[in-house]
Amino acid sequence: MAVRAVRGAVQLERDEAGHMDEQVGALLTAVLERNGLTADDLISIWFTATPDLHSDFPAAAARKIGIVDVPLICAQELDIEGAMPRVVRLLAHIESDRHRSEINHVYLGAAAALRKDIAQ
């Protein structure tokens, strides 16, 4: 079993805790489903949020969908002029037998524009 990394992102329509929970939960669910994973396959998840998001921690959404015994951490994304606003990104470390080229990175909605080269 290898350790792999999965990337993902979602752009929020507004900075509200309930909306963040919904969108980050959808992102995490898509990452798990598209890679054939369960919470037991997760090693850890790093979340970043753009500086314009203040309503909640993205990791709280993971806890609400049942990811309760996986180390999670949140950080603020760099404040780059012209960057896409209201974006939550994740980097999940997983255990998987999939080859690196078989990992499905998930960029939902408008966030797909961030990484057209790897977005699935």
Q: Which pLDDT tens digit goes with each residue over 74-119?
A: 999 999 999 999 999 999 999 999 999 999 999 999 998 887 676 5
Stretch 11-20: mean pLDDT:
98
This prediction's pTM: 0.93
Say if residue 120's pLDDT is above 80.
no
The predicted pLDDT at position 103 comes to 96
The predicted pLDDT at position 114 comes to 87
CATH number for the domain whose boundaries are 2-115: 3.30.1330.40
Smallest CA-to-CA distance from 9 within 116, 118, 95, 114 is with 114
**28-45 residue pLDDT tens:** 999 999 999 999 999 999
Domain residue ranges of the chain, discontinuous segments joined by +: 2-115
For residue 9, the SS3 value is strand
What is the residue whose two structure tokens read 């329509």? 13
Q: How far is residue 19's CA from residue 25's CA, in Å, rounded to a whole number? A: 10
